[in-house]
Structure 1
């Protein structure tokens, strides 16, 4: 479910002090009911080698198409990406406690790089000639005694080309990427919960560990 921008901006996330010059593009409630300490499990759904939340066929096709277009137009050359001559990583802005704390794993399917990980926030970034983008995954109370994930996408377009690019991909995000992503996350979360219940009934211990 899509949420208002205030669902992200009203919370005391650390990302606010780090990416104040970024615009909040989208905020989504994730279908991931859980307990107060389950963010690491959700991060694992984005970063595992198999069954990743980003690995649905539709999402893979759209990202592959974007990469091909980027190569053709020269948007994704190393000097245009994170750490290149014109695009510095958000890690350069981190205060000491976040810089020295856990960084978190990198997603395996898409070209995001993890920036930092806390008990209730995980941040990953990507960038090219058109835009510097941030994926913020937070873990929030759900209003009924439990918790769930919340995803915000923050962007910093690069001039007119970046603004044009963001406008051009907006229909694809809403019609293709986000619906497939949310379905994949929900499906895998339910499957994980089912495995845990089966293991508990069989006396076989808990779920596998999430890679840190």
Structure 2
């Protein structure tokens, strides 16, 4: 379920210390009911690589089109990503976060893990259009009852980046996010 940005901004997540210059693009409640110790399972599930492969055909087609256009217009080249066009947010981490795990052993491509805590995880990616952060958190809704929350933070790259983000917004809301939310819910219910 889509949440107001304040569901992310009013919490004392550590990401606020290092990504204050990023815009909160989207915040979602994840249908992942669990207990206080289930966050590691959520992070592992996200890194399993089932998206977009496990998504409906329309989402897989949009994803494939995005990568083809990215190659055609050179949006995803080495010179447009982390540590070339933009510095990694990991370089901003305070000392206590530098010592944390960066994520599970699974492959997070196209994201690069930044840090991982007991109830918070962040990973980033960059290309010619934007620098983005995927933020996962474990939220207590009522005593002993938790669920996942996902926020997408972005820093568009100039006017082109802002136009690009505006252009893809309807596709994200109509196709990508609903498919991703269903996939997360299905995998969680299946115990994956």
* TM-score greater than 0.5 by the shorter chain: yes
SS of the equivalent of 1:141 reads strand
Cα distance, 1:66 vs structure 2 = 1.1
Give 1:26's aligned residue: 26
Mapping of residues 1-212 of structure 1, within 5 Å = 1-48=1-48, 52=50, 54-58=52-56, 59-84=59-84, 86-105=85-104, 108=107, 110-143=109-142, 145-192=144-191
Q: What's the TM-score, normalizing by structure 2?
A: 0.93
Aligned-partner Cα distance in 2 for 1:141–1:171: 30
Cα distance, 1:55 vs structure 2 = 3.5
SS of the equivalent of 1:178 reads helix
Give 1:207's aligned residue: none
Aligned-partner Cα distance in 2 for 1:71–1:135: 23
**TM-aligned CA distance change 1:66 to 1:24, over 3 Å:** same
Q: Give deviations 1:59-115, integer Å, cap 9, x for gaps.
A: 44332221111110111110101111x211111011111111111037647511111
Give the aligned length. Answer: 190
CA contact (8 A) 1:54 1:109 kept: no
User: Could you list the runs of 5+ residues in structure 2 that have no partner in the other structure?
Assistant: none
Q: Give deviations 1:114-171, integer Å, cap 9, x for gaps.
A: 1110000110111101100110000001236400000000000011000000000001
**TM-aligned CA distance change 1:128 to 1:53, over 3 Å:** closer
CA contact (8 A) 1:47 1:107 kept: yes
CA contact (8 A) 2:120 2:136 kept: yes
SS of the equivalent of 1:57 reads coil
Aligned-partner Cα distance in 2 for 1:144–1:117: 23
CA contact (8 A) 1:46 1:54 kept: no
SS of the equivalent of 1:187 reads helix
User: Could you list the runs of 5+ residues in structure 1 that have no partner in the other structure?
Assistant: 194-212
Two-structure CA RMSD over aligned residues (Å): 1.7
